[in-house]
Chains A and B, each alone.
Chain A
């Protein structure tokens, strides 16, 4: 018995739609397959959205808004100076109140190749107890999730707002930047954070500022340089 025409037409239509969808998404599939997936975490107002926007568009935000929920960012091939890195589609999450957001953070880490945890250098150097407690609590959880991960992601501790920690931060000479790093490394909460994730061999510490486009590029360059070296 011949197949009714309506069935043939429906099957052909479905084939066209499915094939078209695969064709239109091919570029994203190719970039995603070869790229790295990032998880950018940190307490509220540490610079996560700023960093995510820079990584996904190359520009910094013109206005600022508290982040809620989980916002998707596109995959991008990232070139900065001589460095070349492909980044998969990823997500910008809320810093939120710690216990509220931990399930979302864990989900992000489970899916990640590289994890950044952002913290405020200025607040840590000022011995802000709320910040120290939050970093301590966050890092305990992050360390557990990293240890449980079947393919442990690379982990970066990224200090932001360096310009607010020290007025002349942007003018610190190259031979003095080590002293600045030592000041931060000597903070108990940072020592604990590094210990939780298994020591200095498992953590890359990057300190900087994202006060403008140039300084954001500088911070990201430091991160990307370390990634290429890994």
Chain B
């Protein structure tokens, strides 16, 4: 599978320090304003304009055209006792990929470990299942649309032919 671009984000647990941002496996320093703002804007766009493809009060997945965003809770809470989500955002592959769901989860787990947090296996299993379904659905619709288009053209051609012959 070609390398995929993934962004990971997590708010600091003390609610004061810089939030943790990683792009394609590399941490984005708090001084790198333009990259960080671009990433935060991407996360905002997907959450505000996208649809909730899955939500069970713990895990949420947003979809916006070819983009996805997944929110998994870390096992650690913030200083106020609030749930601290780990976010991953990127593009869904154009073609079916058996490795894609696992690569997203693996990236999130590695990011969590990097910032001294962890994600429960119960949550990663549910997330893996949901991402697999999303990838499968996307693959199905990307094969279905050209087929519907072809059938539509054939029907339109036959109707026009029939009308011409009846004259």
Residues of A within 8 A of B (CB): 2, 4-6, 43-45, 63-66, 68-72, 91, 93-97, 99-104, 130, 134
Which of chain A's residues have a CB closer than 8 A to the CB of B22?
A: none
**B33: shortest Cβ distance to chain A, in Å?**
5
**A53: shortest Cβ distance to chain B, in Å?**
14
B16 touches A71 (CB 8 A): no
Q: List 9 A-B contacts (CB under 8 A).
A: A45-B78, A64-B81, A65-B73, A70-B45, A95-B15, A97-B17, A97-B18, A97-B30, A104-B41
B119 within 8 Å of A by Cβ?
no
Which of chain B's residues have a CB closer than 8 A to the CB of A66?
A: 11, 15, 78, 82-85
- The stretch from B108-116, B124-132, B143-151, B152-160 touching chain A is B152-160
Known A91-B48, A104-B41; contact A68-B87, beta-carbon cutoff 8 A: yes
B41 touches A103 (CB 8 A): yes
A69 touches B43 (CB 8 A): yes
**B75: shortest Cβ distance to chain A, in Å?**
14
**B55: shortest Cβ distance to chain A, in Å?**
12
Indicate with 1 or 0, residue by residue over B17-43, a CB within 8 angstroms of chain A CB atoms: 111010000000010010011001101
Known A64-B82, A66-B85; contact A6-B155, beta-carbon cutoff 8 A: yes
- Of A71, A72, A91, A100, the contact of B19 (CB 8 Å cutoff): A100
A6 touches B159 (CB 8 A): yes
Contacts A45-B78, A66-B82, A99-B33 known; list 12 others, CB within 8 Å: A64-B81, A64-B83, A66-B85, A68-B11, A70-B44, A70-B45, A97-B30, A99-B37, A100-B36, A100-B37, A104-B41, A130-B16
Residues of B within 8 A of A (CB): 9, 11-12, 15-19, 21, 30, 33, 36-37, 40-41, 43-48, 69, 71, 73, 78-85, 87, 155-156, 159-160, 163
B19 touches A97 (CB 8 A): yes
A68 touches B43 (CB 8 A): yes
Which of chain A's residues have a CB closer than 8 A to the CB of B17?
A: 97
CA distance A199 to B62 in the complex (A): 42
**A46: shortest Cβ distance to chain B, in Å?**
9
CA distance A95 to B12 in the complex (A): 11
Which of chain B's residues have a CB closer than 8 A to the CB of A103?
A: 37, 40-41
CA distance A69 to B70 in the complex (A): 11
A72 touches B48 (CB 8 A): yes
